[in-house]
Structure 1
Protein backbone atom coordinates (compact mmCIF):
# COMPACT_ATOMS: atom_id res chain seq x y z
CA UNK A 1 0.00 0.00 0.00
CA UNK A 2 1.31 3.41 -0.94
CA UNK A 3 1.15 5.95 1.85
CA UNK A 4 0.20 9.36 0.56
CA UNK A 5 2.30 12.28 1.72
CA UNK A 6 -0.49 14.84 1.32
CA UNK A 7 -2.87 14.86 4.31
CA UNK A 8 -6.58 14.28 4.06
CA UNK A 9 -8.36 17.17 5.73
CA UNK A 10 -11.26 16.10 7.97
CA UNK A 11 -13.70 18.62 9.41
CA UNK A 12 -15.63 17.38 12.42
CA UNK A 13 -12.88 14.85 13.05
CA UNK A 14 -13.45 14.88 16.82
CA UNK A 15 -17.21 14.25 16.63
CA UNK A 16 -19.24 11.04 16.72
CA UNK A 17 -18.63 10.24 13.07
CA UNK A 18 -15.11 11.64 12.91
CA UNK A 19 -13.95 9.49 15.83
CA UNK A 20 -14.70 6.42 13.69
CA UNK A 21 -13.46 7.89 10.40
CA UNK A 22 -10.01 9.03 11.48
CA UNK A 23 -8.72 5.60 12.64
CA UNK A 24 -10.00 4.03 9.42
CA UNK A 25 -8.18 6.61 7.31
CA UNK A 26 -5.00 6.02 9.27
CA UNK A 27 -5.36 2.25 8.83
CA UNK A 28 -5.59 2.90 5.09
CA UNK A 29 -2.30 4.78 5.17
CA UNK A 30 -3.64 8.33 5.01
CA UNK A 31 -2.17 11.16 7.00
CA UNK A 32 -5.00 13.13 8.57
CA UNK A 33 -5.32 16.81 9.35
CA UNK A 34 -8.26 17.46 11.67
CA UNK A 35 -9.98 20.80 11.90
CA UNK A 36 -10.81 21.69 15.49
CA UNK A 37 -12.34 24.82 16.97
CA UNK A 38 -9.58 24.94 19.57
CA UNK A 39 -5.88 24.19 19.36
CA UNK A 40 -4.78 20.81 20.66
CA UNK A 41 -1.53 19.31 21.78
CA UNK A 42 0.20 16.85 19.48
CA UNK A 43 -1.09 13.28 19.68
CA UNK A 44 0.78 10.00 19.91
CA UNK A 45 0.08 9.22 16.26
CA UNK A 46 2.45 11.35 14.15
CA UNK A 47 0.11 10.89 11.19
CA UNK A 48 -2.64 12.95 12.85
CA UNK A 49 -2.45 16.73 13.06
CA UNK A 50 -4.92 19.15 14.66
CA UNK A 51 -5.46 22.65 13.28
CA UNK A 52 -7.58 25.33 14.97
CA UNK A 53 -10.18 26.67 12.52
CA UNK A 54 -13.53 28.43 12.89
CA UNK A 55 -15.57 27.37 9.86
CA UNK A 56 -18.40 29.76 10.65
CA UNK A 57 -16.09 32.76 10.28
CA UNK A 58 -13.48 31.14 8.04
CA UNK A 59 -10.71 32.07 10.45
CA UNK A 60 -7.69 29.81 9.99
CA UNK A 61 -9.10 27.86 7.06
CA UNK A 62 -6.67 29.00 4.36
CA UNK A 63 -3.45 27.70 6.00
CA UNK A 64 -5.26 24.52 7.10
CA UNK A 65 -5.81 23.59 3.45
CA UNK A 66 -2.20 24.04 2.40
CA UNK A 67 -1.01 20.93 0.54
CA UNK A 68 -4.39 19.17 0.80
CA UNK A 69 -5.86 17.25 -2.16
CA UNK A 70 -8.85 15.63 -0.43
CA UNK A 71 -11.32 17.09 2.06
CA UNK A 72 -13.85 15.05 4.04
CA UNK A 73 -16.47 17.44 5.41
CA UNK A 74 -18.19 16.00 8.48
CA UNK A 75 -18.60 19.09 10.66
CA UNK A 76 -22.15 20.11 11.43
CA UNK A 77 -24.30 21.75 14.06
CA UNK A 78 -27.72 23.07 14.85
CA UNK A 79 -27.27 26.12 12.65
CA UNK A 80 -24.91 27.70 10.16
CA UNK A 81 -23.90 24.56 8.28
CA UNK A 82 -24.51 26.29 4.94
CA UNK A 83 -22.27 29.21 5.91
CA UNK A 84 -19.55 26.90 7.24
CA UNK A 85 -19.65 24.84 4.05
CA UNK A 86 -19.49 28.00 1.94
CA UNK A 87 -16.33 29.11 3.75
CA UNK A 88 -14.78 25.68 3.38
CA UNK A 89 -15.63 25.43 -0.32
CA UNK A 90 -14.24 28.88 -1.08
CA UNK A 91 -10.94 28.07 0.60
CA UNK A 92 -10.78 24.59 -0.94
CA UNK A 93 -11.27 26.08 -4.39
CA UNK A 94 -8.42 28.51 -3.84
CA UNK A 95 -6.22 25.70 -2.52
CA UNK A 96 -6.80 23.50 -5.57
CA UNK A 97 -8.50 20.65 -3.70
CA UNK A 98 -9.24 17.76 -6.07
CA UNK A 99 -11.88 15.81 -4.14
CA UNK A 100 -14.49 17.06 -1.66
CA UNK A 101 -16.46 14.38 0.21
CA UNK A 102 -19.58 15.63 1.99
CA UNK A 103 -21.96 13.98 4.44
CA UNK A 104 -25.60 15.09 4.31
CA UNK A 105 -28.91 13.76 5.55
CA UNK A 106 -31.73 11.81 3.95
CA UNK A 107 -34.63 14.20 3.43
CA UNK A 108 -32.49 17.26 2.74
CA UNK A 109 -34.38 17.80 -0.50
CA UNK A 110 -37.84 16.76 0.74
CA UNK A 111 -38.37 17.87 4.35
CA UNK A 112 -39.94 21.35 4.86
CA UNK A 113 -38.01 22.04 8.05
CA UNK A 114 -35.38 24.71 8.59
CA UNK A 115 -32.50 22.41 9.53
CA UNK A 116 -33.09 20.16 6.51
CA UNK A 117 -33.22 23.22 4.25
CA UNK A 118 -29.89 24.33 5.67
CA UNK A 119 -28.43 20.92 4.77
CA UNK A 120 -29.75 21.31 1.23
CA UNK A 121 -28.14 24.74 1.00
CA UNK A 122 -24.86 23.22 2.19
CA UNK A 123 -25.19 20.53 -0.48
CA UNK A 124 -25.55 23.22 -3.14
CA UNK A 125 -22.37 24.89 -1.97
CA UNK A 126 -20.60 21.62 -2.69
CA UNK A 127 -22.29 20.70 -5.96
CA UNK A 128 -21.86 24.19 -7.43
CA UNK A 129 -18.27 24.63 -6.23
CA UNK A 130 -16.53 23.36 -9.34
CA UNK A 131 -14.53 20.94 -7.18
CA UNK A 132 -14.95 17.23 -8.02
CA UNK A 133 -17.19 15.91 -5.26
CA UNK A 134 -18.81 12.91 -3.63
CA UNK A 135 -21.91 13.16 -1.42
CA UNK A 136 -23.53 10.63 0.89
CA UNK A 137 -26.91 11.22 2.50
CA UNK A 138 -27.36 9.16 5.66
CA UNK A 139 -30.21 8.57 8.07
CA UNK A 140 -30.09 9.74 11.69
CA UNK A 141 -27.42 7.97 13.70
CA UNK A 142 -28.31 5.63 16.54
CA UNK A 143 -26.30 7.96 18.78
CA UNK A 144 -28.60 10.90 18.00
CA UNK A 145 -31.75 8.85 18.55
CA UNK A 146 -30.34 7.67 21.88
CA UNK A 147 -29.74 11.27 22.99
CA UNK A 148 -33.29 12.14 21.99
CA UNK A 149 -34.74 9.14 23.85
CA UNK A 150 -32.71 9.92 26.98
CA UNK A 151 -34.07 13.47 27.09
CA UNK A 152 -37.64 12.35 26.48
CA UNK A 153 -37.40 9.68 29.19
CA UNK A 154 -36.67 12.34 31.82
CA UNK A 155 -40.28 13.51 31.54
CA UNK A 156 -42.92 11.85 33.74
CA UNK A 157 -45.09 11.39 30.66
CA UNK A 158 -43.37 11.06 27.27
CA UNK A 159 -45.11 12.84 24.37
CA UNK A 160 -44.91 10.81 21.17
CA UNK A 161 -46.07 12.53 17.97
CA UNK A 162 -47.84 9.94 15.85
CA UNK A 163 -46.71 9.09 12.35
CA UNK A 164 -43.03 9.91 12.97
CA UNK A 165 -40.86 7.17 11.56
CA UNK A 166 -37.10 6.85 11.49
CA UNK A 167 -34.60 4.49 9.92
CA UNK A 168 -31.59 4.98 12.24
CA UNK A 169 -28.19 3.84 11.05
CA UNK A 170 -25.02 2.95 12.89
CA UNK A 171 -22.41 5.69 12.77
CA UNK A 172 -19.62 3.13 12.35
CA UNK A 173 -21.21 1.82 9.18
CA UNK A 174 -21.54 5.37 7.86
CA UNK A 175 -17.89 6.01 8.71
CA UNK A 176 -16.76 2.91 6.85
CA UNK A 177 -18.71 3.96 3.76
CA UNK A 178 -17.32 7.49 3.88
CA UNK A 179 -13.75 6.25 4.10
CA UNK A 180 -14.39 3.97 1.13
CA UNK A 181 -15.66 6.97 -0.82
CA UNK A 182 -12.78 9.17 0.30
CA UNK A 183 -10.22 6.64 -0.91
CA UNK A 184 -11.98 6.42 -4.29
CA UNK A 185 -12.53 8.84 -7.13
CA UNK A 186 -15.19 11.59 -7.04
CA UNK A 187 -18.56 9.88 -7.56
CA UNK A 188 -21.21 12.59 -7.24
CA UNK A 189 -24.36 11.73 -5.29
CA UNK A 190 -24.11 8.10 -4.20
CA UNK A 191 -26.97 5.93 -2.88
CA UNK A 192 -28.34 6.89 0.52
CA UNK A 193 -27.29 4.90 3.58
CA UNK A 194 -30.02 4.03 6.09
CA UNK A 195 -30.52 1.52 8.86
CA UNK A 196 -32.01 -1.94 8.29
CA UNK A 197 -35.36 -1.23 10.00
CA UNK A 198 -37.99 1.51 10.01
CA UNK A 199 -39.30 2.34 13.48
CA UNK A 200 -42.07 4.53 14.77
CA UNK A 201 -40.89 7.06 17.32
CA UNK A 202 -42.89 5.27 20.01
CA UNK A 203 -41.09 2.00 19.23
CA UNK A 204 -37.69 3.69 19.55
CA UNK A 205 -38.60 5.23 22.90
CA UNK A 206 -40.10 2.00 24.23
CA UNK A 207 -36.96 0.12 23.18
CA UNK A 208 -34.79 2.55 25.09
CA UNK A 209 -37.00 2.46 28.20
CA UNK A 210 -36.94 -1.33 28.21
CA UNK A 211 -33.16 -1.47 27.76
CA UNK A 212 -32.70 1.02 30.60
CA UNK A 213 -35.16 -0.69 32.90
CA UNK A 214 -37.54 2.27 33.09
CA UNK A 215 -41.27 2.68 32.76
CA UNK A 216 -42.92 5.79 31.44
CA UNK A 217 -46.41 6.32 30.02
CA UNK A 218 -46.39 7.46 26.40
CA UNK A 219 -48.82 10.17 25.31
CA UNK A 220 -49.74 10.05 21.59
CA UNK A 221 -49.85 13.45 19.92
CA UNK A 222 -50.44 14.73 16.42
CA UNK A 223 -47.74 16.90 14.86
CA UNK A 224 -49.45 19.71 12.94
CA UNK A 225 -48.49 21.63 9.81
CA UNK A 226 -46.21 20.87 6.90
CA UNK A 227 -43.65 19.13 9.08
CA UNK A 228 -46.24 16.71 10.44
CA UNK A 229 -47.53 15.90 6.96
CA UNK A 230 -44.01 15.34 5.66
CA UNK A 231 -43.11 12.97 8.50
CA UNK A 232 -46.38 11.06 8.15
CA UNK A 233 -45.69 10.72 4.42
CA UNK A 234 -42.24 9.29 5.17
CA UNK A 235 -40.41 12.10 3.38
CA UNK A 236 -37.50 11.66 5.81
CA UNK A 237 -37.03 8.02 4.80
CA UNK A 238 -35.24 6.35 1.91
CA UNK A 239 -37.06 3.10 1.19
CA UNK A 240 -35.96 2.44 -2.38
CA UNK A 241 -32.53 2.36 -4.01
CA UNK A 242 -30.77 2.96 -0.69
CA UNK A 243 -27.93 1.01 0.85
CA UNK A 244 -28.80 -0.35 4.29
CA UNK A 245 -26.62 -1.06 7.27
CA UNK A 246 -26.77 -4.24 9.30
CA UNK A 247 -26.70 -3.03 12.90
CA UNK A 248 -30.15 -2.58 14.39
CA UNK A 249 -31.39 -0.22 17.09
CA UNK A 250 -31.81 -3.21 19.40
CA UNK A 251 -28.18 -4.27 18.99
CA UNK A 252 -27.01 -0.72 19.54
CA UNK A 253 -29.06 -0.43 22.74
CA UNK A 254 -27.76 -3.76 24.03
CA UNK A 255 -24.22 -2.44 23.71
CA UNK A 256 -24.74 1.11 24.94
CA UNK A 257 -27.55 0.81 27.47
CA UNK A 258 -28.31 -2.78 28.33
Structure 2
Protein backbone atom coordinates (compact mmCIF):
# COMPACT_ATOMS: atom_id res chain seq x y z
CA UNK A 1 0.00 0.00 0.00
CA UNK A 2 1.35 3.41 -1.00
CA UNK A 3 1.76 5.84 1.90
CA UNK A 4 0.88 9.39 0.88
CA UNK A 5 1.65 12.66 2.66
CA UNK A 6 0.46 16.11 1.57
CA UNK A 7 2.50 19.08 2.80
CA UNK A 8 0.88 22.50 2.58
CA UNK A 9 3.60 25.14 2.32
CA UNK A 10 6.12 22.45 1.46
CA UNK A 11 8.13 24.47 -1.05
CA UNK A 12 10.69 25.89 1.38
CA UNK A 13 11.94 26.01 4.96
CA UNK A 14 10.29 23.66 7.42
CA UNK A 15 7.78 22.42 4.86
CA UNK A 16 10.45 21.35 2.43
CA UNK A 17 12.38 19.54 5.19
CA UNK A 18 9.17 17.75 6.19
CA UNK A 19 8.56 16.64 2.60
CA UNK A 20 12.13 15.33 2.36
CA UNK A 21 11.77 13.41 5.64
CA UNK A 22 8.66 11.60 4.47
CA UNK A 23 10.20 10.79 1.09
CA UNK A 24 13.22 9.22 2.81
CA UNK A 25 10.84 6.91 4.62
CA UNK A 26 9.12 5.76 1.46
CA UNK A 27 6.11 8.08 1.37
CA UNK A 28 4.85 9.56 -1.86
CA UNK A 29 4.57 13.30 -1.25
CA UNK A 30 2.48 16.13 -2.62
CA UNK A 31 3.79 19.67 -2.17
CA UNK A 32 0.96 22.21 -2.12
CA UNK A 33 1.96 25.86 -2.32
CA UNK A 34 0.81 29.09 -3.96
CA UNK A 35 4.41 29.99 -4.86
CA UNK A 36 4.89 28.34 -8.24
CA UNK A 37 8.61 28.97 -8.68
CA UNK A 38 9.56 27.83 -5.16
CA UNK A 39 7.36 24.76 -5.48
CA UNK A 40 8.88 23.65 -8.77
CA UNK A 41 12.38 24.31 -7.44
CA UNK A 42 11.65 22.18 -4.37
CA UNK A 43 10.26 19.33 -6.48
CA UNK A 44 13.33 19.34 -8.72
CA UNK A 45 15.66 19.20 -5.70
CA UNK A 46 13.65 16.48 -3.99
CA UNK A 47 13.62 14.36 -7.13
CA UNK A 48 17.42 14.63 -7.33
CA UNK A 49 17.74 13.56 -3.70
CA UNK A 50 15.17 10.79 -4.02
CA UNK A 51 16.71 7.33 -3.89
CA UNK A 52 13.32 5.67 -3.47
CA UNK A 53 10.60 4.72 -5.94
CA UNK A 54 8.02 7.17 -4.65
CA UNK A 55 5.86 9.79 -6.29
CA UNK A 56 6.55 13.49 -5.86
CA UNK A 57 3.83 15.84 -7.05
CA UNK A 58 3.20 19.56 -6.82
CA UNK A 59 0.11 21.70 -7.04
CA UNK A 60 -0.71 25.37 -6.70
CA UNK A 61 -2.95 25.85 -3.69
CA UNK A 62 -4.29 28.76 -1.66
CA UNK A 63 -5.10 27.40 1.80
CA UNK A 64 -7.62 30.19 2.41
CA UNK A 65 -9.86 28.98 -0.45
CA UNK A 66 -11.87 25.91 0.58
CA UNK A 67 -12.82 24.99 -2.99
CA UNK A 68 -9.20 25.06 -4.15
CA UNK A 69 -8.06 23.00 -1.15
CA UNK A 70 -10.75 20.43 -1.86
CA UNK A 71 -9.76 20.19 -5.52
CA UNK A 72 -6.06 19.97 -4.64
CA UNK A 73 -6.47 17.08 -2.20
CA UNK A 74 -8.80 15.30 -4.62
CA UNK A 75 -6.08 15.54 -7.26
CA UNK A 76 -3.49 14.22 -4.80
CA UNK A 77 -5.59 11.15 -4.08
CA UNK A 78 -6.26 10.56 -7.76
CA UNK A 79 -2.58 10.72 -8.70
CA UNK A 80 -0.76 9.35 -5.63
CA UNK A 81 -3.31 7.42 -3.62
CA UNK A 82 -5.28 7.75 -0.34
CA UNK A 83 -3.95 10.38 2.04
CA UNK A 84 -2.31 9.06 5.17
CA UNK A 85 -0.78 12.34 6.43
CA UNK A 86 -1.53 16.04 5.98
CA UNK A 87 0.96 18.59 7.33
CA UNK A 88 -0.04 22.24 7.63
CA UNK A 89 3.15 24.26 7.13
CA UNK A 90 1.77 27.24 5.20
CA UNK A 91 2.37 30.43 7.15
CA UNK A 92 3.27 34.11 6.95
CA UNK A 93 4.56 36.65 9.46
CA UNK A 94 4.82 40.38 9.93
CA UNK A 95 6.89 42.00 12.69
CA UNK A 96 4.94 45.09 13.69
CA UNK A 97 3.40 46.52 16.85
CA UNK A 98 -0.32 45.86 16.99
CA UNK A 99 -1.23 49.57 17.13
CA UNK A 100 0.66 50.05 13.85
CA UNK A 101 -0.84 47.04 12.06
CA UNK A 102 -3.45 47.74 9.38
CA UNK A 103 -6.59 45.57 9.05
CA UNK A 104 -5.43 44.10 5.74
CA UNK A 105 -2.29 42.67 7.35
CA UNK A 106 -4.25 41.34 10.34
CA UNK A 107 -6.69 39.56 8.04
CA UNK A 108 -3.90 38.15 5.86
CA UNK A 109 -1.96 36.64 8.77
CA UNK A 110 -5.04 35.19 10.47
CA UNK A 111 -6.44 33.85 7.21
CA UNK A 112 -3.27 32.01 6.17
CA UNK A 113 -1.97 30.83 9.53
CA UNK A 114 -5.21 29.93 11.31
CA UNK A 115 -8.17 29.90 8.93
CA UNK A 116 -6.03 28.12 6.33
CA UNK A 117 -5.19 25.33 8.76
CA UNK A 118 -8.84 25.05 9.76
CA UNK A 119 -9.87 24.68 6.12
CA UNK A 120 -7.19 22.14 5.20
CA UNK A 121 -7.87 20.13 8.35
CA UNK A 122 -11.60 20.10 7.61
CA UNK A 123 -11.14 18.80 4.05
CA UNK A 124 -8.43 16.30 5.05
CA UNK A 125 -10.53 15.01 7.95
CA UNK A 126 -13.47 14.31 5.64
CA UNK A 127 -11.27 12.19 3.39
CA UNK A 128 -9.60 10.34 6.25
CA UNK A 129 -12.83 9.64 8.14
CA UNK A 130 -14.15 7.65 5.20
CA UNK A 131 -11.26 5.20 5.66
CA UNK A 132 -11.02 5.54 9.45
CA UNK A 133 -7.30 6.13 9.08
CA UNK A 134 -4.92 9.08 8.83
CA UNK A 135 -3.51 11.97 10.75
CA UNK A 136 -3.03 15.71 10.59
CA UNK A 137 0.00 17.58 11.92
CA UNK A 138 -0.27 21.33 12.38
CA UNK A 139 2.76 23.60 12.67
CA UNK A 140 2.55 26.29 15.33
CA UNK A 141 5.21 28.52 16.87
CA UNK A 142 6.75 29.09 20.28
CA UNK A 143 5.55 32.68 19.85
CA UNK A 144 2.01 31.36 20.08
CA UNK A 145 2.85 29.90 23.49
CA UNK A 146 5.01 32.69 24.95
CA UNK A 147 4.04 35.78 22.97
CA UNK A 148 6.57 38.24 21.59
CA UNK A 149 6.78 41.99 21.23
CA UNK A 150 5.83 43.07 17.73
CA UNK A 151 4.18 39.77 16.86
CA UNK A 152 0.76 39.97 18.53
CA UNK A 153 -1.20 39.00 15.42
CA UNK A 154 1.19 36.22 14.45
CA UNK A 155 1.14 34.90 18.03
CA UNK A 156 -2.65 34.94 18.07
CA UNK A 157 -2.83 33.02 14.78
CA UNK A 158 -0.46 30.34 16.06
CA UNK A 159 -2.04 30.13 19.52
CA UNK A 160 -5.34 29.34 17.80
CA UNK A 161 -3.80 26.15 16.43
CA UNK A 162 -3.60 24.75 19.96
CA UNK A 163 -7.37 24.95 20.33
CA UNK A 164 -7.93 23.63 16.81
CA UNK A 165 -5.65 20.65 17.36
CA UNK A 166 -7.02 19.61 20.75
CA UNK A 167 -10.66 20.06 19.72
CA UNK A 168 -10.38 18.26 16.39
CA UNK A 169 -8.43 15.42 18.02
CA UNK A 170 -11.43 14.83 20.30
CA UNK A 171 -13.93 15.09 17.46
CA UNK A 172 -12.40 12.50 15.14
CA UNK A 173 -10.19 10.31 17.31
CA UNK A 174 -12.84 7.61 17.71
CA UNK A 175 -12.81 7.18 13.92
CA UNK A 176 -9.08 6.44 13.81
CA UNK A 177 -7.84 9.89 12.73
CA UNK A 178 -5.22 11.64 14.85
CA UNK A 179 -4.40 15.36 15.11
CA UNK A 180 -1.24 16.81 16.66
CA UNK A 181 0.66 20.09 16.82
CA UNK A 182 4.39 20.75 16.50
CA UNK A 183 5.61 24.01 18.04
CA UNK A 184 9.00 25.09 16.64
CA UNK A 185 11.22 27.59 18.41
CA UNK A 186 13.79 29.70 16.59
CA UNK A 187 14.49 27.82 13.37
CA UNK A 188 16.94 28.78 10.61
CA UNK A 189 14.51 29.78 7.85
CA UNK A 190 13.69 32.84 5.78
CA UNK A 191 11.61 34.17 8.67
CA UNK A 192 14.63 34.32 10.97
CA UNK A 193 17.37 35.43 8.58
CA UNK A 194 17.42 38.98 9.99
CA UNK A 195 17.81 37.87 13.62
CA UNK A 196 20.96 38.27 15.69
CA UNK A 197 21.69 34.54 15.85
CA UNK A 198 24.43 34.79 18.47
CA UNK A 199 22.13 36.65 20.82
CA UNK A 200 19.39 34.10 20.30
CA UNK A 201 21.76 31.21 21.02
CA UNK A 202 22.37 32.63 24.50
CA UNK A 203 18.68 32.17 25.30
CA UNK A 204 18.56 28.53 24.19
CA UNK A 205 19.72 25.87 26.68
CA UNK A 206 21.09 23.73 23.83
CA UNK A 207 23.11 26.77 22.68
CA UNK A 208 22.02 26.69 19.05
CA UNK A 209 19.06 27.57 16.92
CA UNK A 210 17.12 24.82 15.25
CA UNK A 211 17.33 23.51 11.71
CA UNK A 212 14.24 22.72 9.62
CA UNK A 213 15.27 19.06 9.84
CA UNK A 214 14.88 19.18 13.63
CA UNK A 215 11.23 20.09 13.20
CA UNK A 216 10.75 17.55 10.43
CA UNK A 217 11.82 14.76 12.79
CA UNK A 218 9.15 15.82 15.26
CA UNK A 219 6.49 15.95 12.56
CA UNK A 220 7.42 12.48 11.33
CA UNK A 221 7.41 11.11 14.87
CA UNK A 222 3.87 12.33 15.53
CA UNK A 223 2.66 11.21 12.11
CA UNK A 224 3.86 7.65 12.67
CA UNK A 225 3.07 7.21 16.38
CA UNK A 226 -0.30 5.43 16.48
CA UNK A 227 -1.27 6.21 20.09
CA UNK A 228 -0.60 9.97 20.21
CA UNK A 229 -3.29 12.55 19.48
CA UNK A 230 -4.08 16.04 20.71
CA UNK A 231 -0.41 16.49 21.62
CA UNK A 232 1.54 19.76 21.54
CA UNK A 233 5.19 18.95 20.90
CA UNK A 234 7.60 21.83 21.51
CA UNK A 235 10.82 21.68 19.48
CA UNK A 236 12.86 24.68 20.55
CA UNK A 237 16.07 23.49 22.22
CA UNK A 238 14.60 24.43 25.61
CA UNK A 239 13.82 28.06 24.76
CA UNK A 240 10.40 27.81 26.41
CA UNK A 241 12.10 27.17 29.75
CA UNK A 242 13.17 30.83 29.85
CA UNK A 243 9.90 32.38 31.01
Corresponding position: 1:125 with 2:125: no
Aligned with 2:217 (options 161, 172, 176) = 176
Q: What TM-score do the two structures reach when normalised by structure 1?
A: 0.62
CA contact (8 A) 2:64 2:115 kept: yes
The CA deviation at 1:100 is 0.6
- Provide the rounded CA distance (Å) in 2 between the counterparts of 1:56 and 1:93: 16
Query: Are 2:226 and 1:188 aligned?
Result: no
Q: Which runs of 5+ in 1 are unaligned?
A: 151-159, 197-236, 241-258
CA deviations over 1:85-134 (Å, ceiling 9, x no partner): 12112212222262111121124244272211111113322332234212
Q: Please provide the CA RMSD for this pair.
A: 3.0
2:162–2:232 contact (8 Å) kept in structure 1: no
| Correspondence list, 1:1-258, <5 A | 4-38=1-35, 43=44, 44=47, 47-66=55-74, 67-78=82-93, 79=109, 80=111, 81-96=113-128, 98-111=134-147, 113-129=152-168, 130-131=171-172, 132-143=178-189, 144-149=191-196, 166-167=203-204, 168-185=209-226, 186-195=228-237, 237-239=239-241
Gaps of 5+ in 2: 75-81, 94-108, 173-177
How many pairs were matched up? Answer: 186
* Alpha-carbon distance in 2 for matches of 1:33, 1:86: 19
Note closer, same or farther for the CA distance 1:146–1:135 as it changes in structure 2 (3 Å cut): same
CA distance in 1, matches of 2:230, 2:192: 28
Moved over 4 A (4+): 38-46
> What SS does structure 2 have at the residue aligned with 1:72?
strand
